[in-house]
Structure 1
Amino acid sequence: MDRTAQSDNLSFSGIDSIHLQDQAVTESMGAILDHAFEHLAPSDQMITRRRRRLLMAARALRDRREPPPGVEDVEVFRDARGGYFVSDDRSGWQDAYAEQLAVASRPPPITLRAVE
């Protein structure tokens, strides 16, 4: 840690790079905490549900040799998208999202060129 950089307000942590800061936090975390008392927000619940589904798929593969969803049929992920979009205030976000999804799902136009 660079205490001079900390005191001169050049670096809050005194650790040179993001990678080293991340490593320092990871290595100094200590024992695993019991999170049973927490009240999760909807975004946290989405993450825990996704992790639970991944664990269930991994166990099904290990125990029953059952391939994870999407391995044999990639269409199950067709409508899953991440990201963001900007919309006007005239329509509800659900309608704007459905429109954006429809546009993103269309194949690109084919342009034909004459070969010389």
Structure 2
Amino acid sequence: MDTTTLAAFLAMDLLLVLTPGADWAFAISTGLREWSVVPAVAGLLAGHVAYALLAVAGLAVIVAGSAPVLTALTVAGAGYLMWLGRGVLRRPRSWPRRAGKQAPPGFRCC
């Protein structure tokens, strides 16, 4: 692999990590619940490492070369995000009541 391709891959991977999405929302909500964010961030990092290893293994080239596979993965990903959103809309979590703690503005409790 030449250095130009490696640099392009690393730049795109960095953009992927820095783009806000469901992973950032999960990490932020974990912190807002005053839980430890270490397991959440460790899981996110494990996912990024797995993605990078699959890309290095050549799966990205196979998927990019096959339009039906890329379309199927895109539709599956969109469906998963819609399923997550539906779950949040159907069962929104309320801010937990704790002695001496108040919910942030805009949160309804219990």
Q: Same fold (TM over 0.5)?
A: no
More helix by share: 2
Q: Which has the higher contact order (CA 8 A, sep 6+)?
A: 2
TM-score (norm 1): 0.28
Larger radius of gyration: 1
